[in-house]
């Protein structure tokens, strides 16, 4: 049986895999490889595999002086791998990382067109803070949530 393997985004292959998972799940905010590379300098980013098959990715935006010790935790699981416990494992790992970085407040963000992601966050105690459009012309809002 294949084991879940999680690794840091730290080379071209993992950057491409993280980009693929992100862009598939968040089609309203498609990122280039350069965008992803830039994010690896600011955030903790990981990719998850079942054996050698990509199943998802995570992002932890660490707390800073400017955000009041708030970290943002995002766990993404590809649709064909959902409802098997992978999201919970990725989320818990990212949550532990954010707390180790000193986060006192945990938030997440979900695209409104991802009802699975929204339900996942709400089932773990996140409550909606606001909905907004990222860019003029966007039609699908982002939802910011905070862990209660």
Rounded Cα distance between 18 and 20, Å, is: 5
Q: Confidence class of residue 64 from pLDDT cuts 50, 70 and 90? A: confident
- The pLDDT, as a whole number, for residue 29 is 84
Judged by DSSP in three states, 29 sits in helix
Tell me which DSSP letter residue 134 carries.
S
Rounded Cα distance between 53 and 102, Å, is: 32
| CB-based burial label for 29 (10 Å; 0-12, 13-18, 19+) | middle
By DSSP bridging, strand 126-132 and strand 70-77 are unpaired
For the stretch 124-134, pLDDT in tens is 999 999 999 98
Domain boundary assignment for the chain: 4-147
pTM confidence score:
0.91
Q: Confidence class of residue 108 from pLDDT cuts 50, 70 and 90? A: very high
Strand ranges in the chain using DSSP code E only, listed in sequence order: 4-8, 44-50, 53-61, 70-77, 105-111, 126-132, 142-147
Q: Confidence class of residue 1 from pLDDT cuts 50, 70 and 90? A: low
Is 38's pLDDT higher than 70? Answer: yes
Architecture field, domain 4-147: 3-Layer(aba) Sandwich (3.40)
**108-127 b/e (C-beta count within 10 Å ≥ 16 → b):** bbbbeebeebbebbeebebe
Sheet with 44-50: strands ordered across = 4-8, 44-50, 53-61, 70-77, 105-111, 142-147, 126-132
Judged by DSSP in three states, 60 sits in strand
């Amino acid at each position: 049986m294949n084991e879940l393997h999680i690794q840091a985004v730290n080379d071209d292959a993992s950057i491409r895999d993280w980009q693929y998972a992100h862009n598939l799940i968040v089609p309203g905010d498609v990122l280039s490889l350069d965008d992803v590379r830039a994010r690896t300098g600011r955030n903790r980013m990981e990719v998850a595999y079942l054996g050698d098959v990509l199943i998802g990715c995570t992002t932890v935006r660490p707390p800073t002086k400017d955000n009041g010790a708030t970290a943002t935790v995002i766990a993404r699981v590809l649709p064909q791998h959902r409802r098997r416990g992978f999201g919970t494992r990725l989320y818990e790992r990212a949550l532990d990382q954010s707390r180790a970085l000193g986060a006192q407040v945990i938030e997440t963000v979900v695209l409104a067109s991802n009802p699975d992601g929204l339900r996942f966050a709400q089932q773990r105690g996140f409550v909606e803070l606001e909905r907004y459009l990222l860019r003029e012309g966007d039609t699908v809002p982002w939802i910011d949530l905070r862990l209660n």
